[in-house]
Amino acid sequence: MRIAVTFIATALIWGSTFLAIRFGNEATPPVWAATIRLTLASVLLFGIAAVFRMPLPRGPALRGAALWGFFNLGVNLTLLYTGEQTVPSGISAVLFATVPLSTALFAAIFGVERLVTRKLIAAMVAIGGVAVIFAGELGVAVPFAGLLTIFGAASAAALANVLLKQAPKQQVIPLNAIGTAVGAVVCLVTSLVIGESHALPGTVAAWLPIIYLTIAGSLGAFVLFTWLVTHWSVSNASLLGVVVPIIAVILGGLVKGEQPAPLTYVGAAIVISAILIALRAPHAAAPALRPASAVEAD
């Protein structure tokens, strides 16, 4: 029951964060906005950990938390915020629907979960679906570089999920405190390198998306998701990638009037169908492509 409630809550929050990022980009340089968000979240999370005397991770757990923060909060958010300057929020979420299959592939490579044949076939089909989405959005003048940036963000998130699964199980608040701190540093360095303005937002309207993303996103969804990953199969947890795009597309259409290209709906259907097939319960006799070091999913 706890897993189901956590899954639903995470999907609802993440479905709205793509739109919040889109709003935030209209008022604040994107990577700088991500830096502010992660810095605020890190301070709050370290404060919560201190108040409740939660020990910070050490050794392999600290390394796992830092790697997760680097890829999922540093690389992922840098690319996502940058890509959403030109890519509609709903399309960004649809491209993030590839995360479950990317996670399954990375999990097999790192020996975290076995890769069954249907997952490999589904991954190939999903890549075809992504190509259809690219073709559709290029037809309505969404830049290829923006689409590729969002796809890169999704791939970084998938890699981060597997690295976290490899790490020792740990409390989610200290884990996210370390992750947001590392992610904030990555975003700050990137923001400095690309020459963004670093003035703090000057209006309530500019602060609202950042505050929402800090509280609902970094303290809400990411904490909930890391709990899911540490208590459930990483492939099952990544099924969020199927649900979130549906919520994001609906919100993008209602609030921002975003209208994906007709071909994009075809590509999205291909991707989501491939994911649902790949992540369904396997048959007992299903053949597997299994690395020698692989272990069964928990």
Share the mean pLDDT of the chain. 88
pLDDT over threshold 90, residue 49 = yes
Residue 236 has pLDDT above 80, yes or no: no
- Which residues, other chains included, contact 38 with Cβ-Cβ below 8 Å and sequence gap of 6+? 73, 77, 180, 181, 183, 184, 187, 218
* Virtual torsion, Cα 80, 236, 114, 174, nearest 10 deg: 60
Most confidently predicted of 124-133, 180-189, 221-230, 242-251: 180-189
The number of residues making up the chain comes to: 298
Whole-prediction pTM value?
0.84
Position 288 scores a pLDDT of: 44
What per-residue confidence (pLDDT) applies to 1? Answer: 82
Percent of the chain's residues with pLDDT above 70: 93
Output the pLDDT for position 279: 63
Q: How confident is the model at residue 282 (pLDDT cuts 50, 70, 90)?
A: low
- Lookup: tokens for 33: 């906005």
User: Angle at Cα 217 formed by Cα 213 and Cα 218, nearest 5°?
Assistant: 100
Is pLDDT of 295 > 60?
no
**Side-chain-side CA neighbours of residue 51 (13 Å):** 7
Beta strand extents in 62-221 (DSSP E only): 115-116
235 pLDDT more than 70: no
DSSP-derived secondary structure letter, 113: S
Domain ranges of the chain: 2-289
Pick the most confident of 14-18, 220-224, 265-269: 14-18
Tokens representing 293 are 């070091």
- Would you state the pLDDT for residue 195? 97
The letter for the amino acid at 114 is R
pLDDT of the residue at 286: 41
